[in-house]
Amino acid sequence: MRYSQATTADLGRDCNIIWKVGHGRSLDLRGRGHIMAIVNVTPDSFSDGGRFVDEGRAVDHGLACVEAGAAILDIGGESTRPGATEVTASEEQDRVLPVIEQLAKRTEALISIDTYRAETARLALAAGAHIINDVHGLHREPDIASIAAKAGAGLCIMHTGRGREAEILPDVIADQMKFMRTALAIADAAGLHREGIVLDPGFGFAKNSHHDLELMARFEELRGLGLPLLAGTSRKRFIGGVTGRELAADRDVGTAATTVLLRLAGAAIFRVHNVAANWEALAVADAVLAARRHADGDAE
């Protein structure tokens, strides 16, 4: 069954809110989109692995991303690309914690820890992070929800099915709804308030290009969950399939196109490698949305 407007009564609900995150901070999602910059402190990430594995270079890159327009810096210490070697918790923490500590001292930008490990999340929040970005959407280490609730941190719940590509339901939106409702039940049980949660459909994670393109086409239906949406399409394989760009680093123009399309469909936050290009694309999309609101106001 497709999730049409008739079967999702709150599809048109305005999901633009003030996102409550850690250390008494927040991010106003009303009226404009925001960039989350990817800062991979890893030797093997699919696009920029090894470029910022050194602490100093990672910090400098994060600060440069803020200068280019990023509102959030997403710090990751383990690659999530297919076939990547899983690192130990201590290896991950050794990579990310010094970077988070330095960035927390040197910028007012929000800091996110990209991890599925509850202990790494706890330590990152203590080091100055404001947000936990869980690529396993509370399905691998559900204690992340309790850690976020206790700290008052923001939480990004990403749909994933690593190794599940063949198991995704025939209707990709139905699969999203099933996964997210399970995750939200975990969050509710942990006492995590909904104003601290953002949802990410997980483009490219245990999905083929057909899944990703259908998610693009039907993205607005995800607003039926009533929470702000994050889009992480940056340099993903499906963009290369459409544009013919084999190298991930050559997919920034295609990524910027997805930023515009998904902003117009209701996404609020965009996790990207190339901040400057996507900031400009987002500015155009926001201007169009502002013009729409103005026109709707005149029509009334």
List active site positions: 236, 271
Sign of CA dihedral 73, 24, 157, 177: negative
Strands (E), 10-55: 18-20, 26-28, 34-40
Angle at 130 between CA 125 and CA 136, to 5 degrees: 80
Which residue reads 């196109």 in tokens?
257
Q: How far apart are CA 84 and CA 99, in angstroms?
A: 22
Strands (E), the chain: 18-20, 26-28, 34-40, 72-76, 110-114, 131-134, 154-158, 197-200, 230-231, 269-272
**What are the structure tokens assigned to 239, written together?**
């963009």
**35, β-bridge pairs:** 270
- Beta 18-20 vs 26-28: how paired, if at all? antiparallel
**What are the structure tokens assigned to 198, written together?**
């953002």
**What are the structure tokens assigned to 234, written together?**
């940056």
